[in-house]
Amino acid sequence: MCGRYQRRSDKQRIAEAFQVDNVDGLQLELAADYNVVPQTMQPVVIWDEREGMRNLHMMFWRFLPLFVSDPKQFKASTINAKGETLLDSKMWRNSFLHRRCLVPVDSFVEWRTEGKTKLPWLFGMADDEPFALGGIWTHWRSQDRKSQMDTFAIVTTEPNELLIDKTGHDRMPVIIERKDYQRWLEPGDENRPPIDLVRPFDAEKMRAWRVDQRINNVRNNGPELREPKQDEGQLRMFS
The per-residue pLDDT for range 29-43, each reduced to its tens digit, is 788 999 999 999 999
CB-based burial label for 192 (10 Å; 0-12, 13-18, 19+) = exposed
Provide mean pLDDT across the span 172-196. Answer: 95
Taking residues 149-168, report their average pLDDT: 97
What is the count of structural domains for the chain?
1
Q: What's the mean pLDDT in 156-181?
A: 97
What pLDDT score was predicted for residue 232? 46
CB 101 within 8 A of CB 136: yes
Q: Identify the pLDDT of residue 235.
A: 43
pLDDT class for 26, splitting at 50, 70, 90? low
150-176 mean pLDDT: 97
Q: Distance (Å, rounded) from C-alpha 30 to C-alpha 146?
A: 27
- Domain region containing 87: 5-237
Tell me what pLDDT residue 27 has: 56
Q: What is the mean predicted confidence (pLDDT) over 19-24?
A: 79
Q: For residue 230, is pLDDT > 80?
A: no
Contact status, residue 107 vs residue 5, Cβ threshold 8 Å: yes
Compute the average pLDDT of residues 201-225.
97
| pLDDT per residue as tens digits for the range 49-81 | 888 899 999 999 999 998 888 888 898 999 999
96, 86 Cβ separation under 8 angstroms: yes
Residue 28: per-residue pLDDT: 65
Cα–Cα distances in Å, from 215 out to 28, 91, 96, 122, 195? 25, 31, 31, 10, 33
pLDDT at 24: 61
Rounded average pLDDT over 108-136 = 96
- Please give the Cα distance from 65 to 139 (Å, whole number): 8
Q: What is the percentage of the chain residues whose pLDDT exceeds 90?
A: 75
Average pLDDT value for residue range 130-158: 93
DSSP three-state, residue 73: helix
| Cβ atoms of residues 111 and 121 within 8 Å | yes
Mean pLDDT (the chain) is 91
Say which CATH number the domain at 205 has: 3.90.1680.10
Q: How far apart are CA 64 and CA 73, in angstroms?
A: 11
Categorize the per-residue pLDDT at 25 as very low, low, confident or very high, splitting at 50, 70 and 90.
low
147 vs 223: which has the higher pLDDT: 223
Residue 111's pLDDT is 97
- What value does the mean pLDDT take over residues 151-165? 98
